[in-house]
């Protein structure tokens, strides 16, 4: 099973590299597959590579679902 996560682009390093924020963790990723990524926009990240763009509403909805899942796991017996 593969998992890709929404991330906020916070810095463009060069044409192929960006820094993203993933729930407070900043990570350098490749944006070679998504050259249209911009600071303030959301990308979907898989294994250190942006593989697509997300609009803000979609990204925030996905992040809310992940937070809900994490919360339910913490309260499970």
Q: What is the pLDDT of residues 16-73, one digit of tens each?
A: 999 999 989 999 999 999 999 999 999 999 999 999 999 999 999 999 998 898 888 8
3.20.20.70, 2.30.30.140, 2.60.40.790, 3.40.50.720: CATH of 5-75:
2.30.30.140
| Residue 59 and residue 6 in contact, taking contact as beta carbons nearer than 8 Å | yes
Under 8 Å between Cβ of 19 and 10: yes
pLDDT band at 76 (very low <50, low <70, confident <90, very high): low
Higher pLDDT, 75 or 10: 10
Q: Where are the domains of the chain?
A: 5-75
Neighbour tally for 29: CB within 10 Å? 23
pLDDT above 80 for 77: no
């Amino acid at each position: 099973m593969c998992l890709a996560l929404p991330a906020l682009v916070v810095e463009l390093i060069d044409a192929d590299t960006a820094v993203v924020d993933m729930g407070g963790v900043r990570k350098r990723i490749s944006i070679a597959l998504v050259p249209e990524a911009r600071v303030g926009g959301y990308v979907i990240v898989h294994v250190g590579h942006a593989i697509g763009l997300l609009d803000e509403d979609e990204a925030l909805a996905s992040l809310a679902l992940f937070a809900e899942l994490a919360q339910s796991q913490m309260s499970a017996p």
